[in-house]
Chains A and B, each alone.
Chain A
Amino acid sequence: MTTNAKNVALSLRDIKITFGDVVAVNGVSLDLYEGEVIGLIGENGAGKSTLLKILSGIYRPDEGSIELAGKEVKFRNPEDSLAAGIGVVHQEQSLFTNLSVAENMDISVGKSGSNSSLLGLYNWGAVNKSASRTLEKIGSKLDPRTKVGDLAFVDRQMVEIAKAIRVGESSNTKPIVILDEPTSLLEPHETAYLEREISKLREIGSVIFVSHRLEEVIRVCDRILVLRDGELVAVRTKDAVDEAELFRLMIGREAKSEKREYRRDASEEAPVIELRNLSKRGAFRGVNLTLAAGEITAIVGTNASGREELCKALYGVDPADSGTMLVRGKEVHGWNVQRSIKAGFGLVPSERKVEGMVGGLTAASNLSLIFGSDSQVGPFISPRKLKTVAADWFEKLDIRPRNPSLELERFSGGNQQKVVMAKWLKSEKLSLLILDHPLRGLDPGAAGTVNLLIQAAVKNDTAVLLLADTLEEALEMGDQIIVMRDGEISSSFDLHKEQPTSLDLLEKMV
């Protein structure tokens, strides 16, 4: 808030960069003050990542200048930018999981800053000690000797931040930390923790915070800068803006009210699935749950809550070991994936790239991976039918580029997710759709389309089980919310009768 009284840490003047005919960033100017957290938002392709790459020395701008504390600088490579005290925490994890926290912080430090002693041998004591010092500075109590692979994601992010400011420690300027969607892989309670830690970074430097989650940006940042089509279209202070306005600035149109009309006609037909006292050792215990057709049930809980295991049990990947499961009112035994698909169950996993799709196959083949009868002639796959079926869905879901013969891995995340969902939606008897973080990593525009798909499934009387990225998402989309803690259902809310806040949910989660 007191930004105007402070020194400018970083300023960009009329930065422009083009790739071929495309102007990726067009005349962007901004000031970042010491002790300030600014948010940078924009759709995919708005120029956010290009701007970050300019700041981290990967790209050189065609026009414009960068000033650090009033002095013009030119970054020839990432090392220059690091040495100047700009640390970037990239969206992708950049830690070696087989090495310790301290080593991860040390390994990319240039010769001058590293802790090797005589004969080039490591001095582990010094490596650990200097890592502790940096960790302490950002308020983390992690043991530098811990192996990164043993850390929760939120702690890994702290290590990333520590690592990012580590290199610039030798420069005498206050660090500038750039965080590119640091919370996208975190659970709600972890996000809360990380947001708090980011706020603390104000004491030692300044932060550029990039996120797709608008409510989060407003929570964390002092000012918010909106990029659209490579241009800076708006700057807002956090007190003078709300999510709806940010959305409009970003996308260029009004956010549609996503609240749908609830259509719970207490029908006579048996629920899609009913669980009685379902348990699995080491995962969940005594779960009683009913999922009705045309309803969205959101399960919230921490990583250790057992909710992912519960979803896997329902889908039949890792079946439960005791209790009763009724599908359409009939008790089932020996549940497995084949039976679950037969019953019309579908799963959209959270690890899209690993579990949800076959990246090297064409989008068309992915689309017909499970329900392929419409693209077959007898027992054989007909390439022609495969294409026409896919073209239909591409049109229906506005999947771009309109080329189903392209390998799926070459589509953007949002379009990949549409294909993954369409794979299930094309089944006419889809009765339960399990969505494990369906919006993860999608920008608000793509997330909107995926949301519409979910609504469409619900209208078709599919029951939806949702593991949401954020509590807000769960509250917005769900008909009922189930809170799980330590493998048990700790609470449940019928959103037609009550409106819990995210704090209410958080309290039951931990």
Chain B
Amino acid sequence: MATKEPGNPGVNTAMIRIREGEIAKSTNWKRLAEPTSLIATLFALIIIFSLLNPRFLSVENLRNLTDQASLPLILSVGATLVILLGSIDLSIEGIMGSAAMTFVLLSANTRDSSDFGLLAVLAAIVVGIIFGLLNGSIVTKIKVPSFVVTLGMWFVGLGVATVLYGTETMPFLTNSDLTSWASTLSVGLPNSFWAAVVVVILGVTFVGLTKTGRSVMAIGNNENIARSAGLRVDRIKLAVFAIAGALSAVAGIIAAIKLGSGSPSVGLGSLFVTIPAVVIGGTALAGGKGGVLSSTLGVFILIILNNGLILAGVSPNFQSGIAGAILIGAIVVAAASQRDRLRIAK
């Protein structure tokens, strides 16, 4: 019929013009949560805080900032991976506690004479992986939502840590080389920060350059399509939860080293820096959108805000309120771009 005319160039070019228009329209308002605007926010914060208190930009404070950022950075990599899948991991603090206790009790400490050196690190990471695998298998095999599973695992982790802690006095690390490792400077910045940098680089590589990493993005976008495309969805989920568990363990170990002792509550407050940082970075809680590097920006925004407010003389009583408000604001911005998720087809 009418649409049979094969070579009508007029129709073709007009069509292309329309399509370009559509593309421009759809990307325009999603920019708020993009890396460029995050970097702009970061710089704005830096400028404001350095004007409020010149000490903000001092070398000591920058070292302080990077040290404070190190644990959230490590945790945010794992959390980002899990959230990219469309799941969530709330068990961070529990795993940190268990791993920290494992690590301290197997290192030279004030309780007993055992000292397994680096093996203690390995053992603690294995503990984290086991917790992660438990999370992952309950989510994939028994199909319990990750929110519930990891919420429970948080307290299982704390429980295991408490049992390990026992009834004796707090175990302190006795090796002074070890306890000073985290704050020792290499190339001007603390070791804890460099550990975080390594983890972030590994995370970026994983998501951007490996088949499994790309599959994580795919699963987060649409799990059904991922399954029918032949991706091993369950196995990938399991792997990601295990990675997240391992990274929580690493964070727990570094937290114990910083503290110089083992305590079930080393991770206290970590969850409420990590998840907001990931969300502020623009990673969608629904999955499939965002990335490790954006979460890094989110971590720095929160850490700088926290540090800057203290230096500016704002009462610490206000700080958690401000952090919460910022989280809600970030989600409002992020949700705006998700409205089009409802429009499956137009």
Contacts and interface: CB of A to CB of B under 8 A. Distances in A.
Contact of B217 (A99, A155, A353): A99
Nearest to A218: B1
B2 A103 contact: no
Contacts of A110: 230
Q: State the main secondary structure of chain B at its contact with A.
A: helix
B18 A302 contact: yes
B344 A303 contact: no
Contact of A116 (B211, B222, B225): B211
Interface string B329-346: 000000000000011111
A98 B209 CA distance: 15
Given A98-B221, A350-B346, 4 more contacts: A114-B211, A149-B26, A501-B2, A505-B2
B3 A98 contact: no
Contacts of B111: none
B117 interface: no
Interface of A: 78-79, 93-99, 103, 107-108, 110, 114, 116, 120-122, 149-153, 155, 185, 188-193, 195-196, 215, 219, 302-304, 308, 350-351, 353-355, 471-472, 501-506, 510
B281 to A, nearest CB: 15
Contacts of B210: 116, 120-122
B231 A503 contact: no
B2 A506 contact: yes
A212 B4 CA distance: 18
A121 B230 CA distance: 20
Contacts of A78: 228, 230
Interface in B186-236: 205, 208-211, 214-215, 217-218, 220-222, 225-226, 228-231
A505 B11 CA distance: 12
A19 B69 CA distance: 60
B168 interface: no
B217 A98 contact: yes
Interface of B: 1-6, 10-12, 14-15, 18-19, 21-23, 26-27, 205, 208-211, 214-215, 217-218, 220-222, 225-226, 228-231, 288-289, 342-346
B2 A503 contact: yes
A219 B345 contact: no
Contacts of A107: 211, 214-215, 218, 229, 231
A116 B209 CA distance: 9
Nearest to B7: A196
Of A97, A98, A99, A196, most B-chain CB atoms within 10 Å: A98
Contact of A303 (B209, B342, B346): B346
Contacts of A188: 3
Nearest to A304: B18
Given A95-B225, A120-B211, A502-B3, A354 B18 contact: no
B19 A502 contact: no
Given A354-B342, A501-B2, A510-B15, A150 B288 contact: no
Contact of A98 (B4, B26, B289, B346): B289
Contacts of B217: 96, 98-99
A150 B2 contact: no
Contact of B1 (A79, A219, A308): A219
Contacts of A351: 343-345
Given A99-B214, A196-B6, A189 B221 contact: no
9 contacts: A93-B225, A99-B221, A107-B211, A155-B19, A189-B11, A191-B3, A192-B3, A471-B3, A505-B2
A-B interface, 3 closest residue pairs, ranked by CB to CB distance from nearest: A503-B2, A502-B2, A510-B14
Nearest to B206: A121
A96 B221 contact: yes
Nearest to A77: B230
Contact of A108 (B208, B230, B346): B230
Nearest to A475: B2
B221 A97 contact: yes
Nearest to A353: B344
Contacts of A151: 19, 23
A155 B20 CA distance: 12
A95 B15 CA distance: 22
